[in-house]
């Protein structure tokens, strides 16, 4: 393929670009404050990008959670909210939408993903049980631990290597899982906690073959499999692109098949499902459903709203339908790849292959002179904000927290800074600005010093910890 450049202009070229399947109807102004103001804002925030004010941020890549742009259809749905305390029409619309797109029998709405994680963890995990999964996620593992469980990472080894090119780095290593079952006994396994894609590994997908084989293994031992479906639609695109037999199947069909290998799912609807707030738990077994449905009224709200307004449930039901459209998923992941390609062309170390929702800068290779105790990923997130007002976040030793038994830092193999792309929000030009800022920070990497932690909260410390420059 030849590309139109000043040198080839006038000659034949075959460049064919893709574009987003939407146009912009409403805009939200953003502005950049100057470097001295950014320095001040960062210091005030204790070098923690979670503690910055949004108004002080230019391009906000903190998270793809709740930051999507809703469609005109979703906003229209907001106006049809039925705010009845019980039995809202929007709940039934949501219930049937989840049933038809994800294929599960029972649905419980929650205020967001961690509300659903809390319910399923409390409903199933008994103290002393183990919860094997494909890499931890912060809130998921915490709820499993608070219910008395011990999370065991059984993801394939390749997931811990940011340069390994395995197309399905989210897969479960079935030998590791079998070894755990042999060691502790199947009755001590609460369930398998399967996430598609795997956030902490860089948005890496799970293959359909792996889900199928996992189901078979778990059936042999009578163990249930629950899916963190937060970014499962993006996972389905990777299956369509990379796995034999799926290139002609629509995302919606792939999603249904994948979910059919699991017994239920929890969902942070703030991601794939294109809403600003919301979540759900969906289950196939009536016993777990009854327990969770009873608990939801204690912790979230009545079982027909679970902490969401009627209008939120309507926007969510519409968002689910939009989220599984092939063109949408392709352009969403395509934008992430566009940024990834710019960075790799410039020799900037990132997790490869590029995952679904974010670019993960490899802070260990970016700052080889900063030891993990001095928080290289946290440092990189701070430097990026200083350079051009781009907000990313730490996914390394700070996010990993302390081991509940030894109280030592957990030192994850992956020490990453995440640039998370909100859905349908930023343009290609924003991606260019981000890439150039990363390059500027990379160019002066050798002179950059690490951080020390000056305040450490007990739970999920990355959200609220404070740091100082060394
Ligand atoms: N599971 C995964 C894989 C997630 O990424 C998140 C949230 C949750 C569960 C919890 O859902 O936030 O709705 O309570 N991830 C956000 C992030 C916070 O930035 O990655 P929640």
Nearest CA to ligand 1 atom 15: 65
Taking the CA of residue 115 as reference, the ligand 1 atom at the shortest distance is 14
Domain membership flag for residue 76: yes
pLDDT at position 404 is 87
Q: Which residues are part of the catalytic machinery?
A: 85, 137-138, 228, 271, 395, 462
Q: Are residues 415 and 317 in the same domain?
A: no
Residue 356 Cα to ligand 1 midpoint, Å, equals: 14
Residue 155 sits at φ, ψ, to 5 deg, of: -75, 160
Joined tokens for residue 216: 């078979």
Q: Are residues 310 and 355 in the same domain?
A: no
Look over the chain and give the mean of its residue pLDDT values, rounded to a whole number: 96
CA distance linking residue 176 with residue 167, whole number of Å:
20
pTM of the shown model: 0.95
**Has residue 90 got a pLDDT over 80?**
yes
Mean pLDDT over 362-391 rounds to: 98
pLDDT at position 179 is 98
Q: Are residues 258 and 279 in the same domain?
A: yes
**Ligand 1 pocket by C-beta < 6 Å: which residues?**
63, 65, 112-114, 137, 139-140, 195, 199, 228, 230, 268, 270, 279
Residue 260 sits at φ, ψ, to 5 deg, of: -65, -15
| Domain encompassing residue 50 | 16-64+326-469
CATH of the domain at 401: 3.90.1150.10
**Has residue 2 got a pLDDT over 80?**
no
pLDDT at position 15 is 84
Nearest CA to ligand 1 atom 21: 113
CATH of the domain at 156: 3.40.640.10
Nearest CA to ligand 1 atom 16: 65
Dihedral sign of CA atoms 292, 206, 101, 280 in order: positive
pLDDT at position 12 is 64
**Has residue 5 got a pLDDT over 70?**
no
Residue 9 Cα to ligand 1 midpoint, Å, equals: 46
Q: Are residues 60 and 76 in the same domain?
A: no
Q: Are residues 51 and 82 in the same domain?
A: no
CA distance linking residue 260 with residue 271, whole number of Å:
21
| Banded model confidence at residue 173, pLDDT cuts 50, 70, 90 | very high
Q: Are residues 41 and 82 in the same domain?
A: no
CA distance linking residue 53 with residue 375, whole number of Å:
22
Using a pLDDT cut of 90, give the percent of the chain over it. Answer: 96
Tell me: the pLDDT tens digits for 386-441? Answer: 999 999 999 999 999 999 899 999 999 999 999 999 999 999 999 999 999 999 99
Nearest CA to ligand 1 atom 5: 199
pLDDT at position 11 is 58
Q: Any bridge partners for residue 418, and if so which? A: 360, 393
Pocket test for ligand 1, best of 67, 115, 139 (most atoms within 8 A of CB): 139
pLDDT at position 17 is 87
Spell out where 24-81 has E strands: 59-60
Mean pLDDT over 220-227 rounds to: 98
Closest CA to 391 of 64, 60, 65: 60
Domain membership flag for residue 110: yes
């Amino acid at each position: 393929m030849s590309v139109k450049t000043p040198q080839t202009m006038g000659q034949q070229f075959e460049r064919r670009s893709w574009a987003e399947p939407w146009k912009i109807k409403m805009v939200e102004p953003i502005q950049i404050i100057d470097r001295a103001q950014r320095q001040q804002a960062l210091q005030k925030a204790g070098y923690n990008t979670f503690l910055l004010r949004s108004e002080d941020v230019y391009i906000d890549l903190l998270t793809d959670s709740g930051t999507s742009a809703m469609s005109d259809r979703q906003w229209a749905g907001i106006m049809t909210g039925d705010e009845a305390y019980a039995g809202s029409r929007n709940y039934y619309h949501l219930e049937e939408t989840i049933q038809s797109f994800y294929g599960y029998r029972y649905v419980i709405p929650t205020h967001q993903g961690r509300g659903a994680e809390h319910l399923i963890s409390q409903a199933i995990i008994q103290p002393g049980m183990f919860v094997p999964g494909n890499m931890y996620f912060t809130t998921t593992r915490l709820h499993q631990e608070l219910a008395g469980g011990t999370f065991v990472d059984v993801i394939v080894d390749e997931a811990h290597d940011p340069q390994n090119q395995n197309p399905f780095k989210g897969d479960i290593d079935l030998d590791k899982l079998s070894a755990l079952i042999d060691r502790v006994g199947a009755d001590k396994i609460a369930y398998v906690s399967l996430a598609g894609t795997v956030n902490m590994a860089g948005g890496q997908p799970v293959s359909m073959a792996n889900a199928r084989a996992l189901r078979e293994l778990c059936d042999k031992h009578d163990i249930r499999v629950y899916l963190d479906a937060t970014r499962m639609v993006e996972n389905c695109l990777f299956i369509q692109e990379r796995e034999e037999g799926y290139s002609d199947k629509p995302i919606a069909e792939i999603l249904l098949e994948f979910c059919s290998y699991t017994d239920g799912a929890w969902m942070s609807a703030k991601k794939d499902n294109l809403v600003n707030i919301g979540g759900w738990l969906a289950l196939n077994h009536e016993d777990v459903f009854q327990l969770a449905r009873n608990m939801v009224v204690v912790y979230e709200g009545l079982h027909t709203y679970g902490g969401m307004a009627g209008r939120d449930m309507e926007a969510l039901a519409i968002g689910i339908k939009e989220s599984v459209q092939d063109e949408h998923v392709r352009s969403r992941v395509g934008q992430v790849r566009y940024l990834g390609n710019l960075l790799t062309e410039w020799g900037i170390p990132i997790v490869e292959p590029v995952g679904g929702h974010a670019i993960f800068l490899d802070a260990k290779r970016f700052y080889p002179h900063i030891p993990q105790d001095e928080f290289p990923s946290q440092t990189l997130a701070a430097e990026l904000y200083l350079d051009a007002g781009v907000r990313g976040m730490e996914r390394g030793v700070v996010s990993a927290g302390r081991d509940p038994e030894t109280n030592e830092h957990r030192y994850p193999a992956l020490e990453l800074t995440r640039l998370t792309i909100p859905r349908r929000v930023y343009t290609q030009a924003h991606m260019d600005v981000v890439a150039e800022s990363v390059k500027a920070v990379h160019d002066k990497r050798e002179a950059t010093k690490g951080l020390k932690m000056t305040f450490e909260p007990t739970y999920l410390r990355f959200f609220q910890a404070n740091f100082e420059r060394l």
